Amino acid sequence: MKVITKVVLMFMFFAVNVSLMAQKEIEYQSDWGERRPAFPDDLILKTNVVFRHEGMVMYCDSAVLNKAVNQFSAFGIIDIYVDDTIHLSGDEVYYDGNTKIAEIMGDRVIMEDGKMTLITDYLVLERIPNIVKYTTSGVIYDSTDTLTSRKATYFMNDKTFDFTDSVNIRTKESEVFSDTIHYSTKTHDALCYGATTVVQTTDSTIIYTEKGLYNTQTSYCESYMAGKMTQKGRLMFADTLFYNSKLRKGEAFSNIKIYDSVNQTNAFGNYVNMTTIDTLSYLILTDSSLVKQFENEDTLYFHADTLVYVSDTMNNALDLYAYKHAKIFRNDFQGAAEFAHYHIEDSLLMMLERPVLWNEESQMTADTLIMLFSGRKIHQLRLYPNALVVQDADTLSDDRFNQIYGRHLTAYFDGGKIKEAEIEGNAQSIYYMWEEKKGKAARLIGINIGNSSKMKMYFEKSKMKSLVGIDKPEYKLDDEERVPVEERKLKGFIWSAADRPLIPTDIFKHRQ
């Protein structure tokens, strides 16, 4: 064991001596120098002092060199050049030639590397890892960017900074506030860690993230944790967020929540594409997409495979488009179609491709369905062509339905409830007649089948109470048994009660 210990100690002694022998002495020159008996190892140098040490050259007014320990202290106007790329200046320097560490102090300590300039009052240059550090606050000017922090480390080989504590980046178009940022002076990418806020003046956008990236030249931002974007009264949360403020384009993924205080609208989904073209701003939502518009005490729910929400550049809502498997829910009406367009500005809703609308007791279908709103309530409804209105004539039976069919139908509402309707063009009707006596169950009298060029219907408590034929009306009342089953349904008859959304979450169910 003693032999092994001696060998180890001899190896360590040899390694230390080799290391010391490998360390180059600091070279120097000056116009004047002297030694003093009280400090025999110190050489005092003055006027045009120059030090050289392994790729570093330093100029100063005066210095004290200790050759025994390979160290010096320098004073006055100091300029340091490292590997012909880095320039540092200050008022006082302490340099250790063994560790290759320099401490630079002064009222204004400056480091320059290409177009990047760092200003502080205290710098530490560590030449072996090739880094520069400050711990007493500093400011960096990088092309068009200004960066400040309380602490930072500059990696000279790859031209990057690690900023910590009160980090701030300012450009002509943005400002960034963060706890920790890794910044590249070559790519202008700022990797953000911890609470970070990016303020874009270009389009009044504020992005918050706790892990992300921001490029100060392209205004491109990425967020991978706790992402939040605020823009003109619109607040969006997402698991992952990408946005370019200059191009005004972006994407978001997973658990997206958008709250729009300007238009009293919320939107949800798992993917959103954001883009501004000319004077219009588009939000394209897919994957469980949902838009909720708050209307007084009620809420209008929109769902489809794809929802496109359009607003102007001031975030005033204009249009909402629903593509494929569109469904709508509001307490006073519900709807379904393959395509729907809600023209918010004009309070008009159009539904195409198998549209169906449910309102109170009525189901309405046609090739095209248009609703007009007034004061957030249904004011008028237009169906064309192949307009069909169906009501369940007997809740105890599955095959008795009141029906009105024609080429064009216009319905009028009062307080959101249907009051009367007018149907034109080959108008046809099937209406079950009932005798109602107080205290007794209603008795079926028969089926009234009619046709005319035009019909008018009147409703009470959303149920059809009377029907008037205009222009050559023909009606007949017959016993139900005498009317063949195939004649009890009008052209295009469909009953879609199973597809009707009864609660808001039903809009996510695809109809047959």
Q: Give the Å distances, CA to CA, from 13 to 98, 246, 505.
A: 17, 62, 78
Q: Please state, in angstroms and rounded to a whole number, the distance separating the CA atoms of residues 168 and 86.
A: 24
pLDDT of residue 267: 97
In one-letter notation, the amino acid at residue 55 is G
Rounded mean pLDDT, 218-242: 96
Query: DSSP secondary-structure letter at 154?
Result: E
Distance (Å, whole) CA 344 – CA 251: 24
Of 201, 205, 174, nearest to 188 by C-alpha is 174
Domain assignment present for residue 230? The answer is yes
- The verdict on residue 254 lying in a domain is no
Q: Are residues 93 and 189 in the same domain?
A: no
Report how far residue 140's alpha carbon sits from residue 136's, in angstroms, rounded to the nearest whole number: 13
Residue 441 inside a domain? The answer is: no
Round to whole Å and give the CA distance between 354 and 408: 16
What's the pLDDT score for residue 14? Answer: 39
72 and 162 in a single domain? The answer is no
Single residue among 217, 246, 275 that ends a domain in this structure: 246
Q: Nearest 5°: CA angle at 218, between 216 and 224?
A: 75
Rounded Cα distance, 436 and 276, in Å: 61
Q: State whether 93 and 66 are in the same domain.
A: yes
User: Would you state the pLDDT for residue 244?
Assistant: 95
| DSSP per position, 196-254 | EEEEETTTTEEEEEEEEEEETTTTEEEEEESEEEEETTEEEEESEEEEETTTTEEEEEE
Q: Is 402 helix (H, G, I), strand (E, B) or coil?
A: strand
Identify whether residues 32 and 63 lie together within a single domain.
yes
Q: Is the pLDDT of residue 9 over 90?
A: no
Residue 69 near residue 83 (C-beta atoms within 8 A): no
> In the prediction, which pLDDT does 79 show?
96
Residue 126, in any domain of the structure = yes
Same-domain check for residues 145 and 242:
yes
Tokens of 501: 């959304």
Q: Between residues 510 and 162, which one has the greater pLDDT? A: 162
pLDDT of residue 22: 53
Distance from C-alpha of 253 to C-alpha of 477, rounded to nearest angstrom: 61
CA distances from 160 to 167, 187, 191, 434 (A): 15, 9, 11, 86
Most confident of 19-28, 92-101, 421-430, 473-482: 92-101
Residue 18: pLDDT above 70? no
151 and 229 within one domain? yes
At a CB cut-off of 8 Å and minimum separation 6, what does 243 contact? Answer: 205, 207, 220, 221, 229, 249, 250, 251, 274
Using one digit for the tens of pLDDT, what is the confidence trace for 270-308? 999 999 988 999 999 999 999 999 977 789 999 999 999
10 Å CB burial of residue 343 (0-12, 13-18, 19+) is: middle
- Of 265-279, 336-350, 464-478, the poorest mean pLDDT is in 464-478
Considering 70, 95, 130, which residue would you say is the last residue of a domain? 130
Specify whether 153 is located in the same domain as 91. Answer: no
- The per-residue pLDDT for range 34-56, each reduced to its tens digit, is 988 878 889 999 999 999 999 99
Is residue 125 domain-shared with residue 36, that is, in the same domain?
yes
Number of domains in the chain: 2
Average pLDDT, the chain: 91
SS (H, E, C) 358-370: EECCEEEECCEEE
Q: What is the mean pLDDT of residues 382-402?
A: 91
> Kind and range of the H or E element at 15?
helix 2-22
Residue 121's pLDDT is 97
Give me the CATH number covering residue 240: 2.60.450.10
Give just the sign of the alpha carbon dihedral 245, 251, 257, 259. positive
* Full residue range of the structural domain in which residue 73 is found: 23-130
Residue 23: band (very low, low, confident or very high) from pLDDT cuts 50, 70, 90? low
Work out the number of other CB atoms within 10 angstroms of the CB of residue 286.
Answer: 17
pLDDT score of 502:
95
Handedness of CA 276, 282, 286, 290 (dihedral sign): positive
Residue 74 lies in a domain: yes
Residue at which a domain ends, from 130, 163, 188:
130
Residues 146 and 233 in one domain: yes
32 plus 117 within the same structural domain: yes
CA distance 40 to 338: 96
- Pick from 51, 53, 54, 55: nearest CA to 63: 51
CB atoms within 10 A of CB 240: 17
Is 242 contained in some domain?
A: yes
Residue at 455 is within a domain? no
- Alpha carbon distance 421, 454 (integer Å): 11
Same domain, 96 and 145: no
Phi, psi (rounded to 5 degrees) for 67: -70, -25
7: DSSP letter: H
What is the number of other CB atoms lying within 10 angstroms of the CB of residue 324?
13
Q: 151 and 109: one domain? A: no
Distance CA 185, CA 212 (A): 17
Whether 404 maps to a domain, the answer reads no
Q: How far apart are alpha carbons 416 and 361 in whole angstroms?
A: 13
Q: Are strands 368-374 and 387-392 parallel, antiparallel or unpaired?
A: unpaired
Residue 400 has, within 13 A of its CA and on its CB side, a CA count of 15
State pLDDT tens for residues 46-82: 999 999 999 999 999 999 999 999 999 999 999 999 9
